[in-house]
Amino acid sequence: MRRPSTRPRHVGPASREALHAAWNNGPRHGSAEAMMRRRWLRYLLFGLLASGWASSLSASQLPEVSTEDALIALERGWNEAFYARDVAFLESILADDFIVTYDDGTRGDKARELALAESFNQRVISATQDDFIVQVYDDAAVVWFTLRVVGIRRGQEAEIVLRYTDVWVVRDGRWQCVSSQSTRVNPR
């Protein structure tokens, strides 16, 4: 099981109006088509806002984002994308030669991870990622963290705690995950 993020998403007033108008003029909120439309609207809106903001600043005015913070953001994005079944995002951050070892000892690859995300249908009540440790080695990095998930399993509320070790490398100017290992630990 991959990891969700519980961080709320904040949208400014102008953005809310644009999204509300687009959503209300489109298909019903619960349909797959509506979900896809909302996702693409978010990407479009974010891209427009980010490109407009970034282009109005000189290079010296752009905020510094540490490599560690960027990798933690990618890990959190992976969580959000997995539970939202956003296969396109996962496709962009997982290397083609990605190998994963799941908490039960089985191995998978990029295709399996994408298939798991696409078919995800479990109910997650809460999930938190913490205890991040990031070690950067030039164009490679290792990210360690703990994931605590509370969800419904076989009709009962259950907690799962996993420790992750993910290996990232820079390819074509961007970070991609080449390996992931999860280990189940006893909840506190």
- Asked whether residue 6 is assigned to any structural domain, the reply reads no
- Asked whether residue 180 is assigned to any structural domain, the reply reads yes
- Asked whether residue 2 is assigned to any structural domain, the reply reads no
More reliable by pLDDT, 56 or 157: 157
> Six-digit token pair at 132?
């991040």
- Asked whether residue 173 is assigned to any structural domain, the reply reads yes
- Gap between the Cα atoms of 68 and 48, Å rounded: 26
- 75/142 same-domain check: yes
More reliable by pLDDT, 147 or 36: 147
- 130/150 same-domain check: yes
Residue 14: Cβ-neighbour burial (10 angstroms; 0-12, 13-18, 19+): exposed
Q: Which pLDDT score is estimated for 61?
A: 57
Q: Which pLDDT score is estimated for 54?
A: 43
Element (DSSP H or E) covering residue 16: helix 13-24
Q: Which pLDDT score is estimated for 65?
A: 85
- 152/176 same-domain check: yes
- In this structure, what DSSP letter does residue 5 have? -
- Asked whether residue 176 is assigned to any structural domain, the reply reads yes
- Gap between the Cα atoms of 28 and 127, Å rounded: 28
- 44/72 same-domain check: no
Q: What is the pLDDT of residues 78-107, one digit of tens each?
A: 988 988 999 999 999 999 999 999 999 999
- 161/115 same-domain check: yes
